[in-house]
C-alpha cells in the first residue's frame, strides 16, 4: 500500500501508492484523504498509554516494581513516551491502513 516498503524510514513514509497492485482500487480517493487517519492514530495511542498503565499496575501488584499513578508519574510518562517513539513508525502506517479500510470501497467488479 505504501510507496516505500521500508518501515523505519523518513523518505516517503506516509506516501501511499495511487492504486492497489492487486485489485487496482484507487488508494487516494481525494486530496487530504489521509488526514483523518490522525483520529485512528490518536485512538491507538490512547490505547497504548492505557496498556502501559495497566501493565505497570500489574507489575506493581505482583511485586516486580513499585508503582503508583500519583506517586510515580515519572515512571508512567517515561515508559509511555519511550514506547510511543519506538512504535511510532508502525502506528503511523497502521493508522493509514485502518483509515483506508474503513472508507475506501474496492473497485466494482473486482473480486478479492
Residues that bind Zn ion (CB under 5 A): 20, 22-23, 25
Q: Which residue is nearest to Zn ion (CB)?
A: 20
- Closest separation between CB of residue 31 and Zn ion, Å? 21
Give 5 or 63: the residue with its C-beta nearer to Zn ion.
5
| Count of beta carbons in the 10 Å neighbourhood of residue 6 | 11
Least distance from Zn ion to the Cβ atom of residue 103, Å? 14
Task: Compute and round to an integer the Cα radius of gyration of the chain.
Answer: 19
Distance of closest approach, residue 97 Cβ to Zn ion, in angstroms: 12
Q: Which three three-digit cell numbers place residue 58?
A: 500489574
- The Cα 20–Cα 110 span in angstroms is 12
Helix, strand or coil for residue 40? helix
Which C-beta is closer to Zn ion: that of 8 or that of 22?
A: 22
Amino acid at each position: 500500500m505504501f510507496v516505500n516498503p521500508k518501515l523505519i524510514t523518513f523518505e516517503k513514509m506516509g506516501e501511499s501508492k495511487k492504486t492497489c497492485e492487486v485489485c487496482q482500487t484507487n488508494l487516494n480517493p481525494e486530496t487530504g484523504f489521509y488526514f483523518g487517519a490522525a483520529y485512528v492514530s490518536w485512538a491507538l495511542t490512547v490505547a497504548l498509554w492505557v496498556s502501559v498503565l495497566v501493565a505497570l499496575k500489574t507489575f506493581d501488584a505482583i511485586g516486580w516494581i513499585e508503582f503508583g499513578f500519583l506517586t510515580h508519574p515519572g515512571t508512567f510518562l517515561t515508559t509511555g513516551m519511550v514506547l510511543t517513539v519506538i512504535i511510532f513508525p508502525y502506528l503511523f502506517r497502521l493508522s493509514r491502513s485502518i483509515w483506508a479500510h474503513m472508507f475506501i470501497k474496492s473497485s466494482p467488479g473486482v473480486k478479492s
